[in-house]
């Protein structure tokens, strides 16, 4: 049966390139010194990015001092990769892993040019083979100690690490975390102006969508990530809850004190959601399989969202701390209040 596929996955040194980048930085900082490295950045850009270093970042309990911008980065999970590409840092990427959604069209060409190290989280040895000076993880599983990829293990190998702030603690995740993450990455790579420009663009997207639905009655939303015996859904600490709020809705499980969690189908029925937001990602069944499963359950027949077949589809990456979240607000707003966009 299709819904048997609806399981939820766990939520989870210097190379020649690095040497070339170091030469470029030296050329920009030391008068009279030149570089013939073919892959070096423009001297003016190098001088600009070197300004303000060293930089010290406190990240999820790990303090890292960057003497210069990282030059060979491995991203684990798609959303940190897209964030780096949106900041114009393709030339700093030595590899990426674990794509789980279609890449944003404007980033697709650059994304495809970055070596893919693994379909899921790569092994520690695979990451080492890429010779990174920084590993940037999206989910906490990027640095799974049981898989030998702890941040301590990378530190022992002389490799810095950075974890998306969404997995730093137990606090509620908001759009401010998205903006702060972008600015932090911009600081690490010496491109704060690019980060500020990107944040301004994303804020504009969010404000435009929120304004369009301002004053409209809130629409109740149930997030369906996966699951058949129970429903795996977004809780009150998830960024998804804020995205729904900004789009003119309310998460029916906002009182679930977690980022994600399991709820019973009886609870879903009792809360009578008007819309179901389906999270789309590889490994948990297709969107059509999820819809077919929900529509086939007799117990859900009288749930307004099921009865009226009101579904909004969001790539999972759009609900995480990264550049997609602003796009998600617009998509959700159009799905919850289509009359406001006619």
Taking residues 25-45, report their average pLDDT: 39
Confidence of residue 110 (pLDDT cuts 50, 70, 90): very high
Average pLDDT for the chain: 87
Give the pLDDT of residue 28: 38
Q: Is residue 49 pLDDT above 80, yes or no?
A: no
The pLDDT confidence band at residue 342, using thresholds 50, 70 and 90, is confident
215/273: higher pLDDT? 273
> Which CATH number is 202-341's, of 3.30.70.120, 3.40.50.1980, 3.30.930.10, 3.60.21.70?
3.40.50.1980
Reported as a single tens digit per residue, the pLDDT across 282-299 is 878 899 999 999 999 999
* 305, 251 contact by CB (below 8 A): no
Q: Over 70: is that where the pLDDT of 14 sits?
A: no
What percentage of residues in the chain have a pLDDT greater than 70?
Answer: 85
Q: Which pTM was predicted?
A: 0.82
Confidence of residue 50 (pLDDT cuts 50, 70, 90): low
Tens of pLDDT, residues 196-205: 999 999 999 9
pLDDT in tens, 229-250: 999 999 999 999 999 999 999 9
pLDDT at 335: 96
In this predicted structure, the answer to whether residue 8 has a pLDDT above a threshold of 70 is: no
What CATH number belongs to 13-192?
3.40.50.1980
- Average pLDDT for 2-21: 38
* Matching fold, domains 13-192 and 202-341: yes
Task: Give the separation between CA 342 and CA 332, rounded to whole angstroms.
Answer: 15
pLDDT tens-place string over residues 86-98: 999 999 999 999 9
Res 10: pLDDT:
38
Cα separation, 193 vs 1, whole angstroms: 51
Which CA distances in Å does 143 have to 137, 283, 319?
A: 7, 20, 21
pLDDT in tens, 295-341: 999 999 999 999 999 999 999 999 999 999 999 999 999 999 999 99
Query: What pLDDT does residue 311 have?
Result: 98
- Is residue 177 pLDDT above 70, yes or no? yes
Secondary structure (H, E, C), the chain: CHHHHCCCCCCCCCCHHHHHHHHHHHHHHCCCCCCCCCCCCCHHHHHHHHCCCCEEEEECCEEEEECCCCCCEEEECHHHHHHHHHCCCHHHEEEEECCCCCCCHHHHHHHHCCCEEECCCCCHHHHHHCCCCEEEECCHHHHCHHHCCCHHHHHHCCCEEEECHHHCCCCCCCHHHHHHHHHHHHHHCCCHHHHHHHHHHHHHHHHHHHHHCCCCCCEEEEEECECCCCEEEECCCCHHHHHHHHCCEEECCCCCCCCEEEECHHHHHHHCCCEEEEEECCCCCCHHHHHHHHHHCHHHCCCHHHHCCCEEEEEHHHHCCCCHHHHHHHHHHHHHCHHHHC
Per-residue pLDDT band for 12 (boundaries 50, 70, 90) equals very low
Every domain of the chain and the residues it spans: 13-192, 202-341
Reading the block at residue 84, the tokens are: 């780096």
């Amino acid at each position: 049966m299709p819904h048997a596929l609806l399981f939820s996955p766990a939520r989870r040194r210097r190379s020649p390139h690095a040497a070339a980048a170091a030469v470029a930085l030296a050329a920009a900082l030391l008068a009279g010194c030149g570089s013939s490295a073919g892959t070096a950045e423009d001297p003016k850009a190098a001088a600009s990015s070197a300004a303000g270093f060293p930089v010290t970042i406190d990240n999820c309990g790990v303090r890292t001092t960057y003497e210069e911008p990282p030059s060979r980065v491995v991203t684990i999970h798609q959303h940190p990769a897209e964030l780096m590409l949106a900041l114009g840092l393709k030339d700093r990427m030595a590899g990426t892993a674990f794509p789980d959604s279609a890449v944003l069209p404007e980033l697709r060409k650059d994304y495809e040019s970055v070596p893919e190290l693994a379909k899921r989280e790569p092994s520690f040895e695979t990451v080492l083979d890429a010779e990174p000076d920084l590993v940037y993880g999206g989910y906490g599983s990027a640095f799974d100690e049981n898989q030998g990829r702890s941040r301590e293990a990378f530190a022992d190998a002389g490799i810095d690490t950075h974890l998306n702030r969404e997995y730093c603690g137990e606090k509620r995740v908001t759009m401010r975390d998205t903006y702060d993450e972008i600015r932090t990455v911009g600081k690490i790579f010496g491109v704060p102006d690019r980060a500020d420009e990107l944040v301004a663009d994303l804020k504009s997207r969010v404000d435009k969508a929120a304004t369009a639905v301002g004053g409209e009655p809130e629409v109740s939303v149930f997030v369906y990530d996966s699951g058949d015996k129970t429903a795996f859904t977004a809780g009150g600490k998830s960024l998804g809850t804020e995205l729904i709020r900004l789009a003119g809705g309310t998460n029916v499980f906002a009182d679930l004190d977690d980022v994600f969690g399991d709820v019973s189908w009886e609870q879903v029925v009792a809360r009578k959601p008007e819309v179901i937001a389906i999270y789309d990602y590889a490994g948990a069944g297709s969107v059509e399989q999820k819809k077919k499963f929900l529509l086939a359950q007799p117990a859900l027949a009288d749930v307004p969202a099921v009865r009226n077949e009101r579904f909004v589809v969001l790539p999972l990456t759009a609900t995480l701390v990264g550049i997609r979240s602003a796009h998600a607000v617009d998509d959700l707003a159009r799905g919850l209040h289509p009359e406001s966009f006619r």
